Chains A and B, each alone.
Chain A
Amino acid sequence: MAVRKNQATLTAKEKRDFVNAVLELKRTGRYDAFVSTHNSFIVGDTDNGERTGHRSPSFLPWHRKFLLQFEQALQSIDPNVTLPYWDWTADRTPASSLWGADFLGGNGRSSDGQVTTGAFAFSGGKWTLGVRPDSRSYLRRALGSAVASLPTRAEAESVLAISTYDAAPWNSSSEGFRNNLEGWRGVNLHNRVHVWVGGHMMTGMSPNDPVFWLHHCFIDKLWAEWQRRHPGQGYLPTGGTANVVDLNDTMKPWNDTTPADMLDHTRLYTYDTGF
């Protein structure tokens, strides 16, 4: 059984193996397909139309499946690799080891936002962006510039305390755990982290930055934690909702996986600790 670990606890070898597997997916073109898929959903998901990957109840099971597929792709390169997660309530500064040259590389430089350290720096020749919103083909970051602070542990706790999974109208204006976690309302957890990292993480092509996977792995872990704390609550809605993925509807683009299939992560992988 795969165990997903806190990125801060990875050994030097685990970091190296993860980075090398990511680079190999990039080299073969498989990585960019994930970026394309994410962007096509993020520009297609709308509050008043069909919505699957974002701003909807299936935000969480959709990303759980998306991450699982990415993790399986990594494991096809190196079977020992699992997705690490980034607990941004704990590792909150650009000085975190997450941003070390031996892992994801550091902040973008002030002149043009270009990441210049680590394996994903453009100058290394292994991380040229093909699926991108503009003419620049180098990875960019601006840690902490568009929003000053990452969410705190207390803010995460306040969202975990919300007992209802989601609520009509099942979009970015909803009450409930999902939308407060996604960040369209309330203290703003997931969205704010994208903005804090800046650069490509702010765009629809956010998986261009490998930290995307570590961020979403922690979001996935928070969903697991919410389930543990609210055992009587479940995914909503459960049927007959226009434009929205109900509990037993299949999700695009896979068309063979329902939110119900994704509820129990423990048959797929486990986490090293609780929140």
Chain B
Amino acid sequence: MSESTHATELTRRRMLQGAAVALTAAAGTAVLGLTGPANGPASAAGLGASDEFDEAYRGRRIQGRPAHGAGGEHHHGGGYTVLIDGEPLHMMRNADGTWISVVNHYQTFSTPRALARAAVNELQGAALVPIA
């Protein structure tokens, strides 16, 4: 990666972070006010086909979709699956609706797509390995 690409990428990431923080603040208020995060899983409820994505990003194929089938509600991904070149990215939904993944576990993202792109940035071409 060239330095200029790197710098652009960092700027973009900071912008994403800023957006995530703003959304978190807004969403957090709504979640706390209306439903209370302890009362039910912040699951795929409200996520529909429009939240699916399938794109090439920096040479990798990233895909996201609501998890289907029995057990989806219990999956730690919060009812959502992200794949990078076909390998599942371990992910989780926070009570405020934001997302984290195993490669960005201390930083929240407002959408699964932003999470997937951040993971591609972190991986720098490396392949995910399955998490036991």
Interface residues of A (CB under 8 A from B): 39-40, 42-44, 46-49, 55, 110-113, 132-136, 145-148, 168-173, 183-185, 190-192, 194-195, 202-206
- Whether B107 lies near A173 (C-beta < 8 A) is no
Q: Which residues of B contact A184 (CB under 8 A)?
A: 94, 108
Asked if B60 lies at the interface with its beta carbon under 8 angstroms from chain A, I say no
- Whether A145 lies near B10 (C-beta < 8 A) is yes
User: 16 A-B contacts, Cβ less than 8 Å apart?
Assistant: A47-B37, A47-B42, A48-B37, A133-B103, A134-B126, A146-B10, A147-B14, A170-B38, A172-B95, A185-B28, A195-B106, A202-B106, A203-B103, A203-B104, A204-B105, A204-B131
- Whether A136 lies near B107 (C-beta < 8 A) is no
Asked if B102 lies at the interface with its beta carbon under 8 angstroms from chain A, I say yes
Interface residues of B (CB under 8 A from A): 1, 3, 6, 10, 13-14, 17, 28, 31-32, 36-38, 40-42, 76, 90, 92-96, 102-108, 122-124, 126-129, 131-132
Instruction: Using A147-B107, A169-B36, A191-B106 as known contacts, list a sample of 17 further A-B pairs with CB atoms less than 8 Å apart, ordered by residue number in A.
Output: A43-B102, A43-B131, A46-B92, A47-B93, A47-B94, A49-B41, A133-B103, A134-B103, A169-B37, A172-B94, A172-B95, A173-B96, A194-B106, A195-B106, A204-B105, A205-B102, A206-B106
Closest CB in chain A relative to B26 CB, distance in Å = 13
From the candidates B17, B40, B131, name the one contacting A147 in the complex (CB within 8 A). B17
Chain B residue at minimum C-beta to C-beta distance from A134: B126
Q: Which residues of A contact B41 (CB under 8 A)?
A: 48-49
From the candidates A39, A113, A132, name the one contacting B124 in the complex (CB within 8 A). A113
From the candidates A146, A169, A205, name the one contacting B95 in the complex (CB within 8 A). A169
Closest CB in chain A relative to B98 CB, distance in Å = 9
From the candidates B10, B40, B90, name the one contacting A48 in the complex (CB within 8 A). B40
- Whether B106 lies near A47 (C-beta < 8 A) is no
- Whether B129 lies near A132 (C-beta < 8 A) is yes
Q: Which residues of A contact B127 (CB under 8 A)?
A: 134-135
- Whether A110 lies near B6 (C-beta < 8 A) is yes
Given A172-B95, A202-B104, A206-B105: A133 and B131 interface contact (C-beta under 8 Å): yes
Q: Which residues of B contact A205 (CB under 8 A)?
A: 102
